[in-house]
Amino acid sequence: MDAEYIKSQVRDIVDFPTKGVIFKDLTTVFKKPDALRMVSDELYERYKNAGITKVVGVESRGFILASIVAYKLNAGFVPIRKPGKLPALTWSESYKKEYGYDTIEIHQDAITSDDVILLHDDVLATGGTMVAAYHLLQGFHPKHIYINFLTEIVMLDGRKEFPEGVEIDSLIKL
């Protein structure tokens, strides 16, 4: 994967979703077939021998690569969504984001204790969303949880929010 090329495709949106935030827009990566193929193939290569049974994507941009990688790994795809979007019984977790508060949910029957999970989202910023997602998944007592991001905003140091020993990987660092 050409990390510099992928970095060059990321678009900054100033003051989105609120004033003072510089949003890393990855739709500019996803719309280019070669860039999408590169990041999808790289994720597959990193996890093809990890025994992944479920790839969990966080709403909404995390769904894009998570579903592609689930397909490539012959694993199931599980969405983590905002409240009220999943039709069956859910577990929820609330958390603080860099620009407010939010809650995420997962179906209560989405994961089993036999699962090996790849938890994916597009950007690691302050870590709030993915730490909440990680806590939701821990409640299922899966065999293992890998955490992956397409991009990581290093200066925000979101890794520090995760418990020690959690495996976190990002394809590119910004």
Residue 11 among the catalytic residues: no
Axis-axis angle for helices 33-47, 62-73 (nearest 10): 60
Whether residue 39 lies inside any domain: the answer is no
Taking only the tens place, the pLDDT of each residue in 51-75 is: 999 999 999 999 999 999 999 999 9
**Among 4, 46, 93, 98, the one annotated catalytic:** 98
**Total domains, the chain:** 1
**Omega of the bond prior to 17 within 30 degrees of 0, cis?**
yes
Which residues constitute the domain of residue 169? 49-173
Whether residue 62 lies inside any domain: the answer is yes
Whether residue 151 lies inside any domain: the answer is yes
Whether residue 30 lies inside any domain: the answer is no
Taking only the tens place, the pLDDT of each residue in 130-173 is: 999 999 999 999 999 999 999 999 999 999 999 999 999 999 99
Whether residue 138 lies inside any domain: the answer is yes
Angstrom distance (rounded) from CA 48 to CA 141: 22
Whether residue 76 lies inside any domain: the answer is yes
What pTM value is reported for the model?
0.94
Q: Where residue 106 sits, what CATH number does that domain have?
A: 3.40.50.2020
CA-based nearest residue to 119, from 100, 105, 134, 141: 134
- Phi first, then psi, for residue 94 (nearest 5°) are -100, 155
Whether residue 157 lies inside any domain: the answer is yes
Residue 113, pLDDT above cutoff 80: yes
Taking only the tens place, the pLDDT of each residue in 4-33 is: 999 999 999 999 988 988 889 999 999 999
Cα-based torsion angle of the residue sequence 120, 123, 125, 129 in order, rounded to the nearest 10 degrees:
-40
**Among 4, 37, 45, 61, the one annotated catalytic:** 61
